Chains A and B, each alone.
Chain A
């Protein structure tokens, strides 16, 4: 709200983001912040739904990078950067979970044989054998 005092500052005065339509100059919201947060949540939930999570995560990151550019251009004009940042990190966590599950599948496949990837009991059996051997 400190922008209220220096609304005669030409640099701020020319920024249309300060204009909320009533002639008052106020910090506005970033356009995609809530969308990024919701997509970030969906990317965490969807990380196990084989590929859906990463789609949400990538969309969230693209939207977040657009908004981050807007914010970096004029940090004092926007009030909800923390929402955007939260959503961005949730999306990153979702993508990391997806990538880790991919890596885990590849590692399991290469250590225990590729046939375990379609058989839960076989995977657990081989992992238990492997754990006993390495004790």
Chain B
């Protein structure tokens, strides 16, 4: 796994920390653990699925759902980061 630059420099988790571990857990089938590790993992996966579709499927427009998922993703990341720092 790629180490987090932020964590290496400062020693504190960043907002994206846990993405790779959570992705690995999804691949193993630990869906609940993955959500607990990084709550934004499912919107992140959906975001990348729709970006991929945007590149291969030129007939349909995916821009609205991509923008919506990106903003939702950012909001979940910020709130889950603060929650994780306080309660875990």
Contact = CB atoms under 8 A, between A and B. Distances in A.
B29 interface: no
B45 interface: no
Contacts of A119: 11-12
Contacts, number: 84
Interface string A101-135: 10011000000000011111001100110010000
Given A49-B4, A119-B11, A120-B12, A90 B70 contact: yes
A interface residue count range (under 10 / 10 to 19 / 20 to 34 / 35 or more): 20 to 34
A97 B15 CA distance: 8
A29 to B, nearest CB: 11
A74 to B, nearest CB: 20
A93 B51 CA distance: 15
Contacts of B86: 124, 127-128, 131
B12 A118 contact: yes
Nearest to A128: B86
Interface of A: 37, 41, 44-45, 47-50, 52, 82-83, 85-86, 89-90, 93, 96-97, 100-101, 104-105, 116-120, 123-124, 127-128, 131
Interface of B: 4-6, 9-17, 19, 51, 54, 61-63, 66-67, 70-71, 73-74, 77-78, 81-82, 85-88
